[in-house]
Amino acid sequence: MDFDLLDDMWRCWGTRTATLTEQEWQTPTRLSGWVVQDLVAHVAPNQAVLDFLRRDPVQNPKVTSGAEMLRRFNAPGGAAIGLAEEIADQARAAATAGPEKLCAQFTEFAPQLVETLRSQDSSAGLDYPLLRSATFGAIGETSLIEATVHYLDLIDAVGGPPPPPAALRATATILAAVADPTEFIEAATGRTDSPLFPVMR
């Protein structure tokens, strides 16, 4: 995992959110029921995430890639569907912190989070809710996916510079690995009508 990509994406968020107008903060996004302020609150790094990453590491984590994490979360009956309302409620609650504090989270916590991830043994990981345990690399890849996909949601709502090409390429690669390889190849080459997408919600 190239943690520089995650650093770059969070810098994009910090730069774009710093220039949002009062009206833009309340602009609806393509996520049903979410306005921009909810979206920013969902993505913005915070002290709780930093504390989570600084817990005692575990060896030989069960989940070793972001693709595997996403596959489990987005499986039928997985957290992405079963906990969708709870996640939305958490985002709205976090959004009450207000624009100024949300913007500050990208400059205050993002660099610390990236440095914490960089400093860890690549073979180690953490106990992780619903997954038993996951490597720091897998956690970083999932964070990159979240930051990139939701940044596209952000600029769809209010405009802004595109994500860095390297972050887009890495995100596309991880998302492609979520699907069964044969099914992905068949779908990508127009050889099946079986529904494959979305692989992430």
CATH at 54:
1.20.120.450
pTM for the predicted model, two decimal places: 0.94
Q: What is the pLDDT of residue 96?
A: 97
Spatial CA neighbour of 11 closest among 140, 147, 141: 147
User: Is 156 contained in some domain?
Assistant: yes
As given in the structure block, the two tokens for residue 33 are 């029921």
Q: What is the identity of the amino acid at 159?
A: G
* Neighbour count for residue 129 (Cβ, 10 Å): 9
Q: pLDDT by residue (tens digit) across 51-60? A: 999 999 999 9
User: Is 90 contained in some domain?
Assistant: yes
Q: What span, in angstroms and rounded, lies between the C-alpha atoms of 125 and 60? A: 7
User: Is 167 contained in some domain?
Assistant: yes
Interacting residues of 143 by C-beta distance below 8 A, sequence separation 6+: 6, 113
User: Is 196 contained in some domain?
Assistant: no
Q: What span, in angstroms and rounded, lies between the C-alpha atoms of 151 and 108? A: 19
Q: What is the pLDDT of residue 68?
A: 95
Q: pLDDT by residue (tens digit) across 122-137? A: 789 999 988 899 999 9
Q: What is the identity of the amino acid at 127?
A: D
Q: Could you give the number of structural domains in the chain?
A: 1
Whether residue 156 contacts residue 87, with contact meaning beta carbons closer than 8 Å, is answered with: no
Range of the domain at 161: 3-188
Q: What is the pLDDT of residue 125?
A: 96
Return the sign of the alpha-carbon dihedral for residues 90, 39, 147, 49.
negative
User: Is 199 contained in some domain?
Assistant: no
Q: What is the pLDDT of residue 83?
A: 79
User: Is 133 contained in some domain?
Assistant: yes
For 59-114, the DSSP string reads: ES-SB--HHHHHHHHTSTTSHHHHTHHHHHHHHHHHHTT-HHHHHHHHHHTHHHHH
Cα 94–178–158 angle (5° rounding)? 40
Query: For the chain, which residues score pLDDT lower than 50?
Result: none
User: Is 144 contained in some domain?
Assistant: yes
User: Is 195 contained in some domain?
Assistant: no
